[in-house]
Each structure stands twice: as C-alpha cells, then as structure tokens.
A and B are shown apart, each in its own frame.
Chain A
Amino acid sequence: MVPGKKEIIAAPKPFINLRILSPILLYATVLLIGLLVAVPFVWMILTSLKPRSEIYSSFFLPKHVTFENYKTVFETSHFGRWYVNSLITACLATTSVIFFDSLAGYALAKYKFRGQSLVLLVILSTMMIPNEMLLIPWYMMARNNGWINTYWGIVFPEFMTAFGVFLMHQFMQGIPDDLLDAGRIDGLSEFGLFWKVALPLVRPALSALAIFTFLSSWNAFLWPVIVTESSKMWTLPVGLAYFSGEFETRWELVMTGATIATVPVLIAFVILQRHIIRGIMLTGLKS
C-alpha cells in the first residue's frame, strides 16, 4: 500500500511538499482520514444486514447476514414512492434551473438594453436573502393557492436560483459577440442563437449547475417537510426522517432506511465522480 520513499521525493508537482513528515506518516494520516469518512457508511450497511438479536451483541460484522430488514422496511413504508417523488421534484427543479438561469444569464450578458444593470443587481442581491426568511410567506402562498402536497409546491421555491443566474452570466460573458453576429447572418433566430450557439459553449458550467441543483434538491429537507403533509407526497429525506422517528430504537430498520436512501446516490456519485468534482471546482473558481 505504501510506496517507497523515492517516489514521493521524485514527485515534482507540489511545492509545499510534506517531505518533513516521512511518506509513511503522510500516507498513514490520509488513509486514517479516509477510514474516518468510510466507517459510518460501512457501519450503516453492516447494521442493516444484521438480525434484530445481533445489533447490540455483534461488534462489527454480522454473524448471520439477513435481508429481512429490507423486506420489513419496504412492507411498512412507502420508500418506493418517496424515491419517485424525490426523482420527479429534483428533475423538475434541475430542468427549470438550467433552462431559465442560463436564459437569464445570457440575456443579461449578451444584450444591451435599458435597466439591464438594475435587473442584474436586483437578481444578485436576492442571494443575500436567506430562504429561511421566506418559508413563512411561501407556506402561506402554498396554502392559499392549494399547492400543499403537490409537486409544484415542493419545487416552486427552487424553480430558479440567483446563484445560477450569476454563474451563467459569468460564463456567457466569455462568448464572443462575433460568433453570435455570425449566427445572425446565417439566419438564426435570437432564441436559436441562445439554444444552438451559446448553450453548447457553456456546457461545462451548465453541467456543474445541473449537478449542484440536483444534489441540493434531492437532499432538501426543510422546505419539503413544511409543504408536504401526506406521507404519499414526502420526498426521500422527509420520509426517512419520519420513518426513523417512528422506529427510533429499531436501529437495524433505521439503518436499512438510511442505506436504501443513500446507496443509490453513492453509486451514482462513484460513476459520475470526475464530472461532479470537476464541476464543483469550476463553480468555486468562477465565483
């Protein structure tokens, strides 16, 4: 596992090299941190595979592996339904955010018109307003309009984000005007320019924004817990919270629920990790 000293010293790239620490110590530290990250996940999965009689007795590994807990969880709750709800709302939010945020960013970056800087300023200044302050007015709006327990009710606050407009504005500014003018001469409509010329050019930023939005919508808890009242409309985090609260001392069931809720996301992350991490870095650097 631990490579020889030579290789570390030969590493040309990092200039703040930690050669003072011996490479063995360095690797021991980073692997230990890795272990600290991994253990809760492993512990969660292992607990979910243990029969009830074992969760307080066997220390780490289950003596008898059982999938009984998974059966019980699916029989006593609506995890399948919560998955579908989360998937629908996260996809809706992601689609509308990437479309409208980039459209707004494009219009604000590539056109000159009256009130342009005012619109940009107002949109960006809404970033300062914490969503927590808007919960109560949103809730009243949802109640008055019958949006409680609907997908639209869950999604409408994240229909667009000021951060996304800001990000797309930054990237759209980098598109040369000549390219758009060339498109105009070729007879593209203004929307065609946005759709066929501008969007493909900002694809990396767009996918970063999509990943960010999907993740935050998928993991959102505070607003969905307020706007959904019937268990049929809960999203995965809300359902998991209520389910766990109900079975609080049945830890093998709670951990099964947590495993069901997280493992597919972890698999998706492992497959897409390069894109996700590159996207996050890109977003962070631009802002």
Chain B
Amino acid sequence: MPSGNRGVDFLHRRFSLRFGLNARKVFWAYVFLLVPCLFFFFFRILPTLSALRISLHDWDILSPSKPFVGLANYRRLLNDPIFWKALKNTFLYMFVVVPAELVGGLSIAIMLQSVRRFAGFLRSLYFLPFVTSAVAISWVWRWMYVPHYGTLNMILSFLGFTEQPFLQSPSQALYSIAAVVIWQSLGFHIIMFLAGLQAIPTVFYEAAMIDGANRWQVFRSITLPLLNPTIVFLAVMGSIASLKIFTQVMNMTFEGTGGPLHSTITLVLYIYQMAFTRFQMGYASAVTVILFMIIIVITVIQMRLITRRFEY
C-alpha cells in the first residue's frame, strides 16, 4: 500500500485507505472463521438437530425402514423401570459426588494453605489421579474392592471389622463407585480452590483482623462470599460431569452392565446399551434429549441459586 504523498488531498486519501483496510480486515476475519464455522455447523449444530429428529423415529440401525413415531419413544420412557432406575441413580451420584468434591476440595485447599513444607509436593500428589485414565483407575479400584483378597477387605479384617461386599452388593455398589469418582476429581477441586483463595486480596483479611473477627466469621463473611465465582464454576462443572458418569460404571461392574441388579446404571450407560448393543437408536436418542434438558435445567438453577454478585 502506498504511503507518503502527504500533499494531495490528504483527507480523501486517508478515508479510502481506511475503507480499503477495513474491507481487507473483514475479508480476513471471514477467512479465519470459515473452518471453525463449518466445524461447529456440521459437527455440533447439525448433529444436535439430528438427535432430536432421530428421537422421533423408530430408528433401528440394522433395519432399512425407520418409521416416524412421534413422541412414542418418550412415552415408552415413562413406563421403562430401568430408565427410571438410571435416572434415580444419576441424581444419586450427583448428590453424593458434588457436595463431597466441594466440601473436601475447599477444606483440603485451606489446610494446604497453612502447610509450609511439602506444599508443592502435596499439591502435585493430590492432582495425580486427575491426569490418570479413568479406565485404569476403575480397574485398580475394582481390584481393591474384591471380596476377601482386595486391599480394602484385607485392611478391614486386619483392623477387626467385618468384610464388606462393596461392588457386589446392590446397596453399596453405587457408593463404592461414587467414592472412586470423588477420589479422582478431588485434586482438580483442590487446585481450583487454591487458585480462588490466592485471588482474594489480603486487605479484606487485614480489615477483618483489625475489627476483631474470629476465624469462623472471617471464613463466613469474607472467604466464602469472595470464593463464590469458584464455587459456582466448580458446582456447575461437577454437576454436569457427574450427570454424565459412564466410564467408571462401565469398567467397575460385571461386563459393564451397571449391575448388580441395575443398582449402578447411569443415564449415559443406559444410552450406550440401548444405542450400541441393542441398536435402538431412536429410543436411545430420546434418553439423550432428556439428559440434555436435565443438564440445562440444573445449570440454570445453580447459576440462579448460588450466583451472588460481589465486586472487589
């Protein structure tokens, strides 16, 4: 682009230069966004609509005819005891896992703040399970949960307690799996809370100290409110993740069925079974649509309930 030539019609020249530059910029912005837009359209938006459409059909991938059935798949859900069991379990996982992650993560983060030696080492150690494959972790815990010979039962009988069936018992299996999920994600929550705690300006604490607040008061009226963005973020992320629990159940139950007696089955595992072992894609899609709606509702509720504005 020519520059200089200041004498002649400076204003006009400048205007056209700028106009040309803007057009060029807009052109490049569209070029940069071409692949991303195509990706999001073809691999996210179109499949979303397609899932909605499939859920209205009797869609067996093996049979050539895929008749439109309206809301029949959704009506079938109402009378499907395994679906209700999976729904109930999924919420149970969420109600066990999310509070444990938040309370455990925050208390360990606060403890870690007071620790001077090994703080960095402990932080990394706590984080270790988060970077490990959930499949490997599930199998290690499955081995630890084994009746009689597993580590946990050996420790229990060594300490004089009765041995527990853990994964073999319909009443304990879900909690045994939830414990593994918590064990794996706790490190992430600790790191996030540490980051949140460090971001709180010390002035607030100093002011509270001068006013003679005790530790509990400081925690209640300074730490907790100022940590609110972190708590909301972790609560939403944790809830969504626990509504989608799949890998652990698949790998810790016999043949990945979500047993014993469907006591550990989750919505996503049920979707997987329906779609990829029974090939009832239409019905499975209806369950995915329900999952989608649950996630949206829970996210909105949590944003409303726990978001309070604090400016600092």
Interface CB pairs A-B, < 8 A, 30: A14-B114, A15-B209, A15-B218, A16-B113, A36-B183, A39-B151, A40-B140, A40-B141, A100-B35, A119-B33, A123-B40, A126-B48, A128-B296, A133-B47, A134-B48, A136-B284, A138-B43, A143-B61, A157-B43, A162-B44, A194-B32, A219-B132, A221-B246, A240-B139, A244-B251, A251-B143, A258-B140, A265-B133, A277-B124, A285-B195
Interface size class of A (residues with CB under 8 A): 35 or more
B122–A119 contact, CB under 8 A? no
Q: How far apart are A151's CB and chain B's nearest CB, in angstroms? A: 16
Q: Chain B contacts of A123 at CB under 8 A?
A: 36, 40
Chain B contributes a number of interface residues (CB within 8 A of A) equal to 100
Q: Which of A66-74, A107-115, A199-207 contacts B (4 or more CB under 8 A)?
A: A107-115
Taking the nearest CB of chain B, how far is it from the CB of A179, in angstroms? 15
Question: Which among A135, A215, A219, A241 is the interface contact of B275 at CB below 8 angstroms?
Answer: A135
Using a CB–CB distance below 8 Å, which chain B residues touch chain A? Answer: 21, 24-26, 28-30, 32-33, 35-37, 39-40, 43-48, 50-51, 54, 61, 108, 110-118, 122-129, 131-137, 139-141, 143-144, 146, 149, 151, 154, 183, 187-188, 191-192, 194-196, 199, 202, 205-206, 209, 215, 218-219, 223, 230, 233, 240, 244, 246-247, 250-251, 255-256, 268, 271-272, 275-276, 281, 284-285, 288-289, 291-292, 295-296, 299
Decide: B26 and A241 in contact? CB cutoff 8 A: no
A280 to B139, CA, bound (A): 26
Which residues of A pack against B, CB within 8 Å? 3, 7-8, 11, 13-20, 26-27, 29-31, 33-34, 36-41, 43-44, 47, 55-56, 59, 100-101, 103-104, 106-108, 111-114, 116, 119, 122-123, 126, 128-130, 132-141, 143, 156-157, 159-160, 162, 165, 184, 190-191, 194, 215, 218-219, 221-222, 226, 236-238, 240-241, 244-245, 251, 254-255, 257-258, 261-262, 265-266, 269-270, 273, 276-277, 280-281, 284-285, 287
Provide the bound-state CA to CA distance between A280 and B125, in Å: 15
Instruction: Tell me the complex Cα distance, A284–B227, Å.
Output: 13
CB-CB < 8 A to B26: which residues of A?
Answer: 111-114
- CB of A30 within 8 A of CB of B47, answer no
Closest 6 A-B residue pairs measured CB to CB? A137-B47, A111-B29, A15-B205, A190-B28, A107-B32, A281-B195
Contact between B271 and A132 (Cβ–Cβ < 8 Å)? yes
Instruction: Report the minimum CB–CB distance from A186 to chain B (whole Å).
Output: 12
> Across the interface, do B149 and A56 meet the contact criterion of CB distance under 8 Å?
yes
Question: Across the interface, do B134 and A219 meet the contact criterion of CB distance under 8 Å?
Answer: yes
Please name all residues of chain B whose beta carbon is closer than 8 Å to the beta carbon of A29 when the two chains form the complex. 111
Q: Is the CB of A107 within 8 A of B29?
A: yes
Q: B246's contact among A215, A222, A236, A273, by CB below 8 Å, is which?
A: A222
Q: Once the chains are docked, how many angstroms separate the CA of A137 from the CA of B55?
A: 11
**Does the CB pair A255–B140 fall under 8 Å?**
yes
Q: Which listed residue (B51, B128, B135, B276) contacts A221, Cβ 8 A? A: B135
Known: A128-B295, A129-B292. A134 touches B44 (CB 8 A): yes
B144 and A43 form a contact (CB under 8 A)? yes
Number of A-B contacts (CB under 8 A): 280
Told that A3-B117, A111-B28, A273-B124 touch, could you supply 16 new A-B pairs with CB distance under 8 A?
A26-B115, A27-B115, A44-B143, A136-B288, A139-B275, A139-B276, A215-B131, A218-B133, A219-B133, A241-B135, A251-B143, A266-B132, A270-B124, A280-B191, A281-B192, A284-B196
Q: Is the CB of A18 within 8 A of B114?
A: yes
Q: Which of A34, A43, A276 contacts B122 (CB 8 A)?
A: A34
Chain A neighbourhood of B111, CB < 8 A: 18, 26, 29-30
Question: B194 to nearest A CB, angstroms?
Answer: 7
A155 and B130 CA atoms in complex are apart in Å by 22
Task: State in angstroms the CA–CA spacing of A29 and B51 once bound together.
Answer: 48
A136 to B195, CA, bound (A): 38
* Contacts A136-B54, A221-B247 given; does A160 touch B191 at CB 8 Å: no
Contact A160 B233 (CB under 8 A): no
Closest to B158 in A: A59
> Are B143's CB and A254's CB within 8 A?
yes
Cβ 8 A contact of A16, one of B29, B51, B223: B223
